[in-house]
Structure 1
Amino acid sequence: SINMAGCKATFCLLIFAIISRFPLFSSADEVLGCGGYVRSDVEINYSNVGIKLYTKQGNLKYETECAPNNGYYFMPLYDKGHYILKVSPPPGWSFEPKEVSLIINGETDPCSLGQDINFHFKGFAVIGKVVSVGNNAGPKGVTVSLYRGKEVIQTTQTTTDGTYVFTPLSSGKYTVVASHPSWSFINDKVMVEVADENGDAGSSIVVGGYIVSGSVTTEGQATPGVSFVLHSKDAITAQPECSPGIPEGYSNTVGIPAVCHVISGTGGVFSFGSVPPGTYILIPYFHSPTTKYEVTPSQLEVTVEHDDLILQQTFKVGGFSMNGRITKSEGGEAVAGAKVVLDKTFTSTTDADGFYAFENIQSGKHKIKVIADKYEFEEAVVNINPQHPVVEDIFPARYEVCFSVTVEKTASHIGPWTIEIHSNSGVETELQTDMSGHGCIHLPVGTYSTAVKLSSAADKAGMRFGPLEHVFTVDSDPIGLLTFSQFLGEITGKIFCLEKCPDLNVILRLAQGTGAPRSTVAIDGKFSFTEVVPGSYQLSVQKDEWCWKLKTIPVIVNTQNVEVSLEQVGYQLTLASSHETTLSYTTSTGASGTVVAQKGSTLVCMSVPGTYTLTPVGCHKFGSAQIQWDSSSPNLVTLSATKHQLTGAVRAREAGPFTVAVKSGGQISILGPLNVSSDDPHLYVFEHWIREGESVILTPGSPTNLYQYEPASHTITMPTDCVLNAVIFRAERALFIHGSVIPAIGGVTINVEGNGIVYTYTTDAAGKYTAGPLDNSIQYTVTAEKKGYVMNALNEKGHFEAYKLAEVVVLVKDENGAALPGVLVSMSGGKSYRQNSLTENDGTIGFFSLTPGDYFLRPMMKEYTFDPPSKMVTVDEGATIMMSISGSRVAYSVYGQTVSLIGEPESNVVVEAVGKGSDCEQYQEEAASDDQGSFRIRGLLPKCHYELRLKTGNGINLHVQRTLPATRTVHTENEDVQDMRLIVLRTFNQMDVAAKVDTDQQHLSSLVAHLYREDLPDSPIHTIKLGLHPYFMLPPMTADRRIYYLRLESNLPTSQYQYSTPEVTFVADSAFKHLNLSFKPTLRGVDAEMSQGTVVGFAIAIILVTIAFNYDKMGPMLEKISDIITNISTPKAVQKSSSVSSDIPIIEAVKKKVKSRKV
């Protein structure tokens, strides 16, 4: 049945007239954005005021201007997050508030709720600048006071470039006065007047210059009397406070004029006063009649900006040079290229004659360390002074000798080896070689003998080396390479094959140990291994596709060569099957049989050579009906079930035809018309083959579309086996509603609502529609709506009468003339009207239900500029105004995805693109990945290169440690960038908690532990029942730095025991915590309990006797009391928990229903 919702035409028009007098807000699902008004009690030009949206980190995301007619503004939001909305007026204008902090979550913030964010104008300003002499900029920190007459109105300090602002101010005449404790001013005041705009004080206040100071020392002591000359290549506008000219004996070597000079005082400090901003060269000058010293640095470039300059680098008076020679032996040849280190700090390299030198050395003892290839030197301590600057020759203490142990093939030993070294002086040394048998040692001068020291295992295995020993002498040069070689044996063998033997690879491995195996090729079944170290081995043929009598045979090489043999017994068939199945086979020689393939991998030995035809038999469809397998080239037979059988039916009282639509992914296939079951004439059956793990939606239907179905559809994910009778759909005749709109209007939205479900339909060009099929057991309400119209329901069910209102229709196109969808168009004006909506796919957007008046219209979309950027529109009653706007793209986007190491999407990861280079470093854009890990960063300029990276900061990406790669470079080049992939590595934040209860064993079964969080003290997060063990673990927790409570409770009767329930508090801020609780109940005294019961019983007896003698008076009152006690004591619901005896604590998760939030 149908219940029509509507009203009479006259009544609807009255309602519209009333509504049009109040503000209209855009629908919450049209666009997410922030809007409001700039308000002023005096007349100002609203179009001069801008509104800017910044991220929490201060990056500009969007900016817009206010409507000139009413101060309204609106800006779109493309991403949720923490933002700051700021008013951006002309300099000096004051507003309250200046900024508003916003946390955009799409639900509860002011912008998502459609609330206005307004800014109120408070006054104008006096703006000026304190500058440095000869410069357009000035210093920070100058105190500036504003006077009206003799009264100080405001005091402030200049900012970085010398600018100052006084605000808010009313009209009048003012005086600005500057002051500073150490600087002198060429002009320190200026007069200014404020009328109907800001007062401009200009740059009339001028600072004369700044102090440049430094210091000079000799070996850490202050040095007076050192001259410092200031040079400048540019003409300066004011003379600094210093001695003109240059000191006596000074020679100008820098080629630019000297301005003046100063001399360091008793504390080693020097100072230039009133130095104008600029770049200067500062040169130290210091000498005596007998000695000229080095002063470092010899010159220093200094840049004076708009502040005093204290030179951080101290000038130091230096010393003299020293030199020496490195030789191979005492009085021997020179060592060239040796590295000489002085006092572990200074480094020099010897020349071809072995000489080295150091400059600017101080007198005293010095340590010299020499480093040279193939030599070792002892550290030398020398005493140097200007009278003795030359060091005696330094020669090596030890020389390099190298050895090599050569092992061609080994059974168990390949290194390292131990070499014994005996000197003629009786000193014994051992050298351990590396794994390749090479090793070097540094030895002092002398004669030596060496031999390889064998381990007991190597000696027992028959390892022998030659020569037995080397004898050598070390004098003044390193010794190259002394070599020891190994003795080896041979293994020969034969392979017996079912057919002619092909070339086969034979592997020889050590029976024990991890030595590298050897291999050779058997030709016509014969093979051999030479140079085999004596020992135990395992011999095998590398032919896994054959079956062998013995796959591996043991071989022992001792003192003679060995002969072995191997025998083939068949061919190995390897089956890899997704399901257990049986395969029948026939061979090219006529043999036949069956094999069973287990789920997974199965190995079968086929004793006959030839070609096999394998045929799977079973309930599953495989890739091929038959599989060929050849013993001569035995490949892996893979049986992967591609599909499994699914069956179902449609049950109907009436005759079909019926179909079933199968939707998988984006593909839809139709089964049918369905056949009638042979067992039931009302049952229409279907079958379908589906891949394992594939999710499909089965939807019944009919070409006549006259039925409704229960269920309407059925979703199933295919398991690993066939599914029979998966669903039976029941078909019944459905309800259809036919209606129209007069006059005939197409595109009217018809909403049919029943049982909370809304079905939407649209009228055709003739104004007609048909709604259905619908459930005929439900009552429906039908409404009609179209922007710019009022719809009046008529008496005839499902029919409406339409009335048109005034409207503005905007068409937005791009530079190529194509429709531009998704453009945010904001329109405000009229009688408090405002609406912010997006253009449709055809580039149009309509503003309907408009009253006559002037409206301000502005298009907005990130990455685009528009022509015109804004427009005032005059709307007459009932008019339709068409507007065209052209958009040009000026920025582009980067699309990408954040995934885990295994490729799964990572959501809520904030990624930013930061501009690179001096021209682009101020640009920053960001976006957060969605549930699929996808992100889009908008607004990247073609002129810039960007660095794509993980965004950091307080509260941002706390769940992410880093990305791989850490950064990527992006350049849009007049088109969007696609498929930027970042691998996300998460931060591990799990915490484990263990606890122990100190109590008697008999009380453990009575205890239950409850875990609470501080903000949920009445709702336990977990409940743990203790069994027979005092130890238990809590379920894994998140280390969220919150406070938790662990509390014990007992079911011991308090009438028999006296105890308190312990509780322990902890903070979830580490990977593991251990907690201790104590439960010590005590038995109550029996006598005391009986005495108390006796007293209570005696009191009750007295009361009962009193009631008995006065029953007539107290009877009615007692009945009422009895009823009350009965109601109170009777439980509404009883939850009985059985006692559980267990050795293991039982953990019960406490489930709480959490209200879902829109994100």
Structure 2
Amino acid sequence: MHNIEVSSSKAQASFSVSGFVSRGQLRARKAPIRDAEILLDGQTVAKTNDKGEFQLENLQESASIKLTARLPHHHFSVVKTSLQLPNIVIPEIQVEAYDVCGSVELDERGSASKLTAKALSPGNSDVVIQPNSKGEFCQSVKPGKYELNPDDSSLMPRGLPLDVSDSPLLDLRFTHFKTDAEVRAVCIGSCPQMTVILLLNDRVVQKVKGTDHFLFHDIGPAEYKVKIEDGGYACWEKPELQLSVQRAKPSPLQFIQHAFYTTIDITHEANLKWSHLENKQLKGEEKLKAGLNSICVSAQGRYKLQFSSCIKFDREQVEHIVPNTLPVVIVGVEAALTGRIAGGDESITVKVKSAEGEKAVPVSRGIFTFSHPISSQGDILLIPQSTTFLFEPPTATFQFRGSCNDQIASFSAVKGIFIDGRIEPAVEGVQITSTNRHHAGVVQNAVSDRSGRFRLGPVKTVDDYDIVAELDGYKFTPKGPSQPGHFTSVKLSQLIVVLSDSETGDRLDGVLLSVVGGIDHRSNKMIDKTGQIKFPGLAPGDYFLRPILQEYKFEPSTTKITIREGEHENVELKGKRVAYSAYGNMRQMSNSPVANVVIEALSEQCEQHQSESVTDSDGSFRLRGLKPGCSYRLYPKGYADSNAMPPSYPNQYDIEMTAGDVHNLQFVMMPFEQITMLAVEMEFDKVAVPASYRVTVSRNGEAVQTSIVQSPVTVFYMNGLKRDGTEYSVRVEPDKPPMSFSAKTVFFNADAPVRVVRVPMSASRRSNEVEISFGSLLSVPFFGLLALFFFNQNKSIEMAKQLYERFTGSPVDRRKKKN
């Protein structure tokens, strides 16, 4: 430290670094190591505190230092580093090993058995421990988990689990001493069948079953834990006891029951009130969590359990008999949901729309509450409604997740205004719809009275709504923005047609009504279940109506109607039933419906009159147009996609049609397995059909069937392939030499009732065939002449002489030339 005197003249001060300080920490995994000496270049310079921290003081810059730690039964790494300013970092010192120490009792010969620590942690190796002559040992091992076993099988304990992950293990003892340990159970009343478990370092050593008395045999000295398992029957003063075995038999342990277990399995949190039905003084309250809960009740008998929660349970109150190892199961079915509306009055309701439907919920003191099924999770739309108030926001959507919520939405209510509208000329019963332009879910409806007047509201501003007036047979035109809600009405021409049965008066549906006329008007409409159809806005003129419905005859077949401008015409067309239907069902033996089956009705008596129907998804069918007085044979014809179907029971019905429908015709399809029939056609167009050949059908490389086909057959059939779309292969190859054709493989899929596979065959070169070259062709005349000479030797010799004399001359001529 320097003292500086401040005056009118300049003062100077200089500093130099004499040493610096650095800090570090010593840990085993995440736990601090306390009281360990820190060594710097072999000298003790610090000691760790309770947090494992240490401080190095008076450090000097150095090119290299060695840093380590020292603590009994710990082995630390040696860290080499340099100290250079300004970045001084002390590396972390690692624990490389811990000591495992103890003793082994000497045998009769005075020798100590070796121990083997089997490594259970990845990266570690087994360690063999050799005690000294006194049986003592202290062996360093890498941090981790091991299983320690003495080589001498008479020593105890065996299979001792070791956990030296963050600390050493001392005072392990292996001895030849063995003893028994007794455990007793004191129950309220008689004890049930139970299991007592002996554990050493959380490893099960023995299990003993019994009621009130248990005995562990041949256990060695160690510190054990004893647990009792009773299947949730009793509450024990201590469910776990300590058992210390030295070199003598330990005193018996006792498990003492003080109450009975009652287990409750509940889906949601709830408050429980319980009371004994006979002894009213025995009662209590518990707060239950979702899932399994266990409570202790001190006496046997019948108890009343009452559950309270924002959740509505399938059972709010239960009687339960104790003792009982079966849990009480309580399931939540509905959750309470609450919202708030600021302002307004008691006339407000909230429309709740969800997958469960719609309902109106009243509002009381600005709060609305309702219950919703827990199983119906999803969006819930909330729409506040009032005849005098508007709301902000107009709607709200809440995503329900199956639990209670006391703040699902908040609304503000304000007074609104009303729209007084009018239809001119007046029309009664006009449907008025007002839709909010900013919130499509906010819709208001009204109906005009006799004077054409209606009222809409409340609304915040008129400009926020689109108002539409609708009524069949009329056209409504808004009068303009200066008169919102006022419409001009124009009555349109309209035709209303009703179709009915002439005898019963019942409305007819399914009628095809053809309407032609007016100014090029042409339409074909199908009548719905109401038996009525409207044609609004028709141009004036004459129209012709022609109804068509199987089984009915309309008289007259065509009806003429005259439409005048602005008038409504009503006409009823009546039909007389002239044919009837047969109703039935096709199902399997399992009662499952069979769809897409064609059912045919055929009458040989009535000029082969025929009707068909295809079964629906529920297996039902209806055969229409069956004539009274005709006999019909009804039978399943096959699938609509032309595939064959299995037989049914019965295979047919014979019915006599009268003036009425026939019902309850039941066909039952027999069970069958869909299969594919295979036809393999060998095409020997350019190859002679061999005497025999081999055909192999394979699936996934494995032969399904191999057959030898004899000439002159060229088609191979196979049945019984499962129709599941699997790919098969067909291989055709010679059965035996000579190989007159090449082997051929073709693939197909078993996905249809019949598969036809064509295999084109081609010739193969035989092994004894010789290729004829150009030189061979030249040798053919030579061998031909040679054969001719051999079979005609006299003539050949005479011919050879003549050829020779022709080219060389006769013997007389040759003499003349010599002379």
- TM band (smaller chain): 0.3 to 0.5
TM-score by length of 1: 0.29
Higher relative contact order (CA 8 A, sep 6+): 1
Structure number with greater Rg is 2
